């Protein structure tokens, strides 16, 4: 392929240059476009909603939900809302004035309106809306030839989208809050009216309420408590009185209530002391002593005083019992009256109990509804929707189209591709090896190279330097593969081959001269080495070369190379194989070989010459065809009639003899190659071929 490009290099360069010129022209002519991009994120939880619904939580990040948001953004309705933004329509008017081709349907730029369907459709087509990868981020971009217009239109659509989201989500909340406030007002009115009715009824029935209950109930409770206390006091007074009375029969001073009296306790102590003193006096002075009488009178006085005090205690207990009994009777009377009044009050309260319960239920409804309405109003005021702004579009500083470096790079790549395609197509259709079977030709159609022609250039004389002492191709000193390997590394050898190739080009190589027979006067003069070395040099120069081994006796190609398949020229001449299936590729691109094969062959017969001529016709697509022919003789003479020129090899150790060569071979010698030449020892051979014999 590279060889084909090299052969058609002029066409390749012209196509690449033409594409680059067209690219530069397009870069200058095409209008500059700016792209401004803003981003929003969808399915975010609302800040005002403490407990979002399960449906919204489920839809967060759903591809279907993202796709619905993209459809809303691309809808004409939202584009119209964007054009209704304050700065959007003014920006479009500026863009219209700067480039009327973009507004071909609008005759007057100042007459653009936001409700024009054509304008909405055209502006919608300039928006680029899509998601950022697999995220919930949406990119909103607008293209324009003015950077400020691109920024204004992108931000206008973002603002319209966010406002539409807020309005769509807050409208329902606003309606709900409005209904709740109306319901609260109705409940408040009902509660006030029923409270007034309840108070009027209680006022009429005297159902005044105390601190915790109706007054009648509180009075009944209070009287009940007083009656219980009075009855307890009466019971205690009765028990005390009974004890005192029972104690009077057995001695009043032994009763508990009497003993608890301080005066009686003191008198008892004095009586005890007087009795002790009386006993002591009796013991000392006897029972008739006058002192005993005085002490006995004092003791009697103390006992009389104790009886008086005991009687007082009994009378006090009687009074307490009578007072307690009187209080109990009074409280019992009050209790009966209060019970009657409480019964009436309970009956009256029961008649309005349903109304009171209804008011209590409405008060609870009012409190709950007021709490929900307040929360909904707060949510509505703080609502920003499920779509949040990430960033507004910034003013673009660099155009998005055309970008110089990528544009020129694409042009260069396109030019290289088109140039390569054009060069390869021309090289292919200009001629190349064909897999078509060899077509037989009649003998009279063969064109021999010894036809009369105009005088030609004299042959070039090229010296191939020796690689080692001795003959270069002498099998006794160096094999053909070793010689080829050493020749590829020898600089003087490569220079000599380049000179040989230049000499052949002076004779029309590639144009009128393509088929060259390489021969020599005798074996061992470097004929096969020269064929292969020259073919590799021509392939390195970009030519397509085919080397054909025509000497059947040696098989040197198979010694120098390893082939993928067996067979060769002899099989083609015997109609056993097709040339395309047996031609082998060499080590250099564009270098192909056709070995001789293992069958005997001859080129003297008419049939063999016809098939060899057909093979050369098949190989017409090659730039150079080298035939490693036999040495001087009938076989070489037959091949010489089929080629465009001869390349004669001779050893530098002996002079080139014109008569010996020209006498046995007809053809035009293009060059004479002196192999294994030593400049210090070998003289340049003398060539004096007559023009008549060569022509």
Sequence-distant (≥ 6) Cβ neighbours of residue 517 within 8 angstroms = 627, 629, 636, 639, 640, 643, 645, 646, 647, 667
In the sheet where 591-594 sits, what is the strand order?
Answer: 460-465, 669-677, 645-651, 515-520, 624-628, 545-549, 591-594, 584-585
**pLDDT for the residue 574:** 84
Q: Summarize the confidence of residues 556-560 as an average pLDDT.
A: 80
Q: Summarize the confidence of residues 43-48 as an average pLDDT.
A: 53
Cα–Cα distance measured from residue 293 to residue 591, given in angstroms and rounded to the nearest whole number: 181
- Name which of 624, 427, 615, 391 is nearest 12 in CA terms: 427
**pLDDT for the residue 48:** 47
**pLDDT for the residue 690:** 31
The structure's pTM equals 0.39
- 527-540 and 491-506 helices, crossing angle to 10°: 80
For the domain bounded by 455-694, which CATH number is listed? 3.40.50.300
Report the run of H or E that residue 79 belongs to, with start and end. helix 76-83
Two tokens, residue 377? 């109003």
Q: How confident is the model at residue 667 (pLDDT cuts 50, 70, 90)?
A: low
Per-residue pLDDT reduced to its tens digit, 303-341? 888 778 777 777 787 888 888 888 888 888 888 887 877
**pLDDT for the residue 164:** 85
Q: Cβ distance 675 to 649 under 8 Å? A: yes
Cα–Cα distance measured from residue 364 to residue 380, given in angstroms and rounded to the nearest whole number: 24
**pLDDT for the residue 572:** 86
**pLDDT for the residue 101:** 55
pLDDT value at 98 more than 60 = yes
Per-residue pLDDT reduced to its tens digit, 437-453? 444 444 333 333 333 44
- Name which of 517, 504, 538 is nearest 449 in CA terms: 517
Rounded to 5 degrees, φ, ψ at 509 are -60, 130
**pLDDT for the residue 553:** 55
Share of the chain above pLDDT 90, in %: 15
pLDDT value at 684 more than 70 = no
Q: Summarize the confidence of residues 288-303 as an average pLDDT.
A: 81
Mean pLDDT is lowest, of 474-483, 601-610, 657-666, for 657-666
pLDDT value at 681 more than 90 = no
Q: How confident is the model at residue 100 (pLDDT cuts 50, 70, 90)?
A: low
- 88-98 and 147-205 helices, crossing angle to 10°: 170
Stronger pLDDT, 471 or 72, i.e. the higher one: 72
What is the rounded average pLDDT for all residues in the chain? 78
Per-residue pLDDT reduced to its tens digit, 375-429? 888 877 666 566 788 899 999 988 888 888 888 999 999 999 998 998 888 877 7
Q: Cβ distance 585 to 540 under 8 Å? A: no
Q: Cβ distance 131 to 17 under 8 Å? A: no
Per-residue pLDDT reduced to its tens digit, 340-370? 777 777 777 777 788 888 889 999 999 999 9
Mean pLDDT is lowest, of 25-39, 195-209, 399-413, 585-599, for 195-209
Two tokens, residue 234? 């009466």
**pLDDT for the residue 639:** 87
pLDDT value at 476 more than 50 = no
Alpha-carbon torsion, ordered 579, 581, 587, 589, to 10 deg: 80
pLDDT value at 17 more than 90 = yes
How big is the chain, counted in residues? 695
Q: Summarize the confidence of residues 463-476 as an average pLDDT.
A: 52
pLDDT value at 682 more than 60 = no
* CA 497 from centre of chain: 61
First to last CA, the chain: 38
Sequence-distant (≥ 6) Cβ neighbours of residue 302 within 8 angstroms = 267, 270, 271, 274
- Domain spans in the chain, listed from the N-terminal domain onward: 2-176+380-391, 455-694
Cα–Cα distance measured from residue 35 to residue 150, given in angstroms and rounded to the nearest whole number: 6
* CA 450 from centre of chain: 77
Per-residue pLDDT reduced to its tens digit, 477-523? 567 788 888 887 788 888 888 888 888 887 777 667 888 989 888 88
pLDDT value at 38 more than 90 = yes
Cα–Cα distance measured from residue 487 to residue 532, given in angstroms and rounded to the nearest whole number: 11
Cα–Cα distance measured from residue 401 to residue 395, given in angstroms and rounded to the nearest whole number: 16
pLDDT value at 27 more than 90 = no
Q: How confident is the model at residue 557 (pLDDT cuts 50, 70, 90)?
A: confident
**pLDDT for the residue 55:** 42
């Amino acid at each position: 392929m590279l060889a084909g490009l090299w052969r058609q290099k002029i066409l390749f360069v012209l196509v690449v240059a033409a594409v680059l010129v067209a690219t530069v022209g397009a870069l200058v002519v095409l209008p500059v476009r700016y792209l401004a991009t803003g981003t929003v994120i969808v399915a975010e939880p609302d800040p005002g909603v403490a407990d979002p619904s399960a449906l919204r939580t489920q839809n967060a990040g759903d591809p279907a939900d993202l796709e619905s948001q993209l459809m809303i953004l691309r809808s004409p309705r939202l584009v119209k809302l964007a054009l209704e933004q304050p700065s959007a329509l003014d920006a479009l008017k500026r863009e219209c004035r700067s480039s009327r081709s973009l507004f071909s349907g609008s005759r007057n730029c100042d007459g653009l309106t936001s409700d024009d369907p054509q304008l909405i459709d055209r502006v919608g087509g300039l928006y680029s809306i899509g998601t950022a990868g697999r995220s919930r981020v949406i990119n909103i971009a607008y293209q324009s030839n003015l950077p400020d217009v691109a920024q204004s239109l992108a931000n206008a659509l973002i603002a319209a989208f966010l406002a539409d989201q807020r309005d769509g989500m807050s409208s329902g909340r606003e309606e709900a809050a409005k209904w709740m406030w109306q319901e609260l007002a109705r409940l408040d009115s009902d509660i006030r009216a029923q409270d007034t009715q309840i108070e009027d009824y209680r006022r009429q029935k005297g159902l005044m309420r105390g601190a915790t209950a109706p007054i009648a109930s509180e009075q009944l409770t209070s009287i009940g408590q007083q009656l219980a206390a009075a009855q307890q006091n009466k019971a205690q007074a009765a028990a005390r009185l009974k004890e005192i009375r029972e104690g009077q029969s057995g001695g009043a001073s032994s009763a508990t209530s009497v003993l608890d009296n301080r005066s009686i306790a003191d008198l008892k102590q004095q009586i005890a002391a007087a009795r002790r003193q009386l006993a002591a006096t009796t013991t000392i002075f006897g029972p008739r002593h006058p002192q005993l009488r005085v002490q006995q009178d004092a003791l009697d006085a103390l006992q009389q005083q104790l009886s008086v005090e005991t009687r007082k205690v009994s009378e006090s207990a009687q009074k307490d019992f009578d007072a307690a009994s009187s209080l109990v009777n009074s409280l019992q009377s009050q209790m009966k009256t209060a019970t009657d009044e409480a019964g009436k009050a309970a009956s009256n309260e029961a008649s309005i109990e349903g109304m009171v319960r209804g008011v209590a239920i409405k008060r609870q409804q009012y409190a709950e509804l007021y709490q929900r309405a307040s929360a909904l109003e707060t949510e509505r005021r703080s609502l920003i929707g499920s779509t949040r702004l990430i960033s507004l579009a910034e003013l673009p500083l660099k155009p998005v189209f055309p970008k110089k470096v990528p544009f020129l790079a694409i042009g260069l790549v396109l030019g290289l591709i088109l140039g390569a395609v054009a060069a390869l197509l021309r090289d292919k259709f200009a001629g190349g090896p064909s897999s078509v079977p060899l077509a037989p030709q009649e003998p009279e159609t063969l064109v021999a190279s010894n036809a009369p022609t105009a005088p030609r250039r004299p042959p070039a004389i090229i010296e191939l330097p020796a690689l080692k002492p001795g003959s270069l191709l002498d099998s006794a000193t160096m094999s053909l593969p070793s010689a080829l390997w050493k020749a590829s590394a020898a600089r003087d050898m490569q220079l000599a081959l380049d000179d040989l190739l230049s000499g052949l080009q002076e004779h029309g190589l590639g144009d009128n001269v393509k088929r060259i027979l390489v021969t020599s006067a005798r074996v061992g003069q470097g004929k096969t080495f020269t064929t292969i070395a020259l073919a590799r040099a021509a392939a390195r120069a970009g030519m397509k070369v085919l080397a054909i081994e025509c000497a059947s006796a040696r098989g040197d190609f198979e010694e120098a190379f390893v082939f993928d398949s067996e067979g060769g020229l002899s099989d083609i001449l015997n109609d056993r194989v097709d040339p395309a299936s047996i031609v082998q590729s060499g080590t250099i691109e564009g270098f192909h070989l056709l070995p001789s094969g293992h069958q005997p062959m001859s080129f003297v017969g008419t049939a063999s010459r016809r098939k060899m001529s057909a093979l050369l016709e098949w190989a017409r697509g090659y730039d150079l065809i080298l035939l490693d022919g036999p040495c001087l003789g009938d076989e070489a003479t037959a091949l010489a009639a089929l080629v465009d020129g001869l390349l004669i090899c001779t050893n530098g150790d002996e002079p080139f003899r014109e008569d010996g060569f020209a006498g046995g071979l007809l053809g035009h010698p293009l060059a004479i190659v002196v192999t294994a030449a030593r400049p210090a020892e070998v003289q340049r051979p003398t060539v004096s071929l007559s023009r008549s014999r060569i022509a």
